[in-house]
């Protein structure tokens, strides 16, 4: 077996220990004689798996008891629709902050349901920074304010939770959930797709404050109403059982690493050393304003883009894969989520230095 360092933005690298645990339990889960994939979601074995995953993520994120934790289908993208469908109530406006490609997708979807007030946008600076919060244009009567805590493509990340007064805050945390400590009580809703820091794709974790549940608009399909999922403990229909189980394994792994504080310290170290390597060279550059740089997704370009293909080939030879930047921005992107070991970042830095030495 030969495993690579996978810098994919998502689906992304999973901790090796998690894959090994899933492998060891694949054919016979804890003496049940069957795989988790084969279990009834109503049986006591599966219920214990589901409950443990929820308890572990509650512990990791210190989720207050007045929040529901939902395991939903449709990835983060379906949350772009479920949020307005469930939160608007009798209101007709929501505020959105546009910091890049993922904010734009959320805004486009919200516009199908309500008036969107664009509270702030960094489009004029090509999404290389977060607009200062004191400049945001917030309507306190809007149903909620939505922002994207980490822009996976642009590599822009909020370093603090924005202070938006009394309006309910909704965050798409798909690409930085569980990577740093946050105060969940500051939010109305947090949602994230699984495939970056939690394992499998197709499943979304949605953390929603109790009082926001139960006001879906008339006509909302049952499957898109948070209340139905909350009342049924995320088993309104057959849930994605294996993905839920697998997320649980990732949560167990995170606890064994020392929890979020420990993983945050490692994420800070990993990202700081990669940015330092980029910044001290004239050969590589990252366009994002220093105070808005992501610890999870680090885009960089080569001064001479004619060398892009040869960089990628050299990286692949060194066992470093999926470094090609998103098709909309080009260049390179290193996604270094929780599961990327520090050794993987060190190997990338060495390869970059060696490539520069031979090609500059």
Ligand X SMILES: Cc1ncc(COP(=O)(O)O)c(C=O)c1O
Nearer to ligand X, 15 or 75 (CB): 75
Nearer to ligand X, 67 or 191 (CB): 191
Q: Among all chains, which residue has been given the structure tokens 């050969």?
A: 283
For residue 44, give both structure tokens. Answer: 């006591």
**CA–CA distance, 167 with 311 (Å, rounded to integer):** 47
Nearer to ligand X, 10 or 162 (CB): 10
Q: Out of 172, 225, 253, 270, pick the active-site residue.
A: 172
Nearer to ligand X, 201 or 281 (CB): 201
Q: Out of 29, 68, 196, 225, pick the active-site residue.
A: 196
**CA–CA distance, 23 with 80 (Å, rounded to integer):** 34
Q: Is 172 an annotated catalytic residue?
A: yes
In the complex, least distance from residue 119 CB atom to ligand X, rounded to whole angstroms: 18
Helix (H) or strand (E) holding 257: none
In the complex, least distance from residue 43 CB atom to ligand X, rounded to whole angstroms: 28
In the complex, least distance from residue 30 CB atom to ligand X, rounded to whole angstroms: 29
For residue 215, give both structure tokens. Answer: 């006001």
Of 176, 231, 227, 253, the C-alpha closest to 17 is 253
Nearer to ligand X, 86 or 99 (CB): 99
**CA–CA distance, 256 with 262 (Å, rounded to integer):** 10
Q: Name the pairing type of β-strands 156-157 and 115-121.
A: unpaired
Mention every residue, 6+ apart, whose C-beta is less than 8 A from residue 143: 84, 87, 88, 89, 91, 93, 94, 114, 168
Q: Out of 102, 136, 244, 253, pick the active-site residue.
A: 102
Q: Is 102 an annotated catalytic residue?
A: yes
In the complex, least distance from residue 78 CB atom to ligand X, rounded to whole angstroms: 7
Give rounded-to-5 percent helix, strand, coil for the chain: 40, 15, 40
Rule CB under 6 A: which residues touch ligand X?
Answer: 10, 75-77, 102, 148, 152, 172, 174-175, 193, 201
* Number of residue whose CB is nearest ligand X: 75
In the complex, least distance from residue 147 CB atom to ligand X, rounded to whole angstroms: 11
Q: Which residues are tagged catalytic? A: 102, 172, 196
């Amino acid at each position: 077996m030969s495993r690579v360092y996978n810098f994919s933005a998502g689906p992304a690298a999973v901790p090796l220990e998690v894959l090994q645990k899933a492998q060891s339990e694949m054919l016979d889960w804890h003496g049940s004689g069957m795989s988790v994939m084969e279990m009834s979601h109503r049986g006591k074995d599966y219920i214990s798996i589901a409950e443990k995953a929820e308890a572990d993520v509650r512990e990791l994120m210190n989720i207050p008891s007045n929040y529901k934790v939902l395991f939903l289908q449709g990835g983060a993208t379906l949350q772009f629709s479920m949020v307005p469908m469930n939160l608007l109530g009798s209101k007709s406006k929501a505020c959105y902050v546009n910091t890049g490609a993922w904010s734009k997708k959320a805004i486009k979807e919200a516009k199908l349901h309500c008036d969107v007030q664009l509270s702030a946008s960094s489009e004029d600076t090509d999404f290389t920074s977060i607009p200062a919060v004191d400049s945001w244009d917030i309507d306190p009567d809007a149903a909620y304010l939505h922002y994207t805590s980490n822009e996976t493509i642009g590599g822009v990340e909020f370093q603090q939770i924005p202070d938006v007064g009394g309006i309910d805050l909704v965050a798409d945390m798909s690409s930085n959930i569980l990577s740093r400590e946050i105060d969940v009580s500051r939010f109305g809703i947090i949602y994230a797709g699984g495939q970056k820091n939690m394992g499998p794709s197709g499943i979304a974790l949605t953390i929603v404050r109790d009082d926001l549940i139960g006001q879906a608009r008339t006509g909302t399909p049952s499957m898109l109403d948070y209340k139905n999922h909350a009342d049924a403990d995320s088993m309104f229909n057959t849930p994605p059982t294996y993905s839920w189980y697998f997320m649980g394994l990732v949560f167990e792994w995170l606890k064994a690493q020392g929890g979020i504080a420990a993983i945050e310290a490692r994420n800070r170290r990993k990202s700081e050393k990669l940015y330092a390597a980029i910044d001290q060279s004239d050969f590589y550059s990252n366009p994002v304003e220093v105070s808005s740089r992501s610890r999870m997704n680090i885009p960089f370009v080569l001064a001479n883009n004619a060398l892009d293909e040869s960089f990628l080939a050299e990286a692949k030879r060194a066992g470093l894969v999926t470094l090609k930047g998103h098709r909309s921005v080009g260049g390179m992107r290193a996604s270094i989520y929780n599961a990327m070991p520090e050794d993987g970042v060190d190997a990338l830095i060495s390869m970059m230095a060696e490539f520069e030495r031979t090609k500059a």
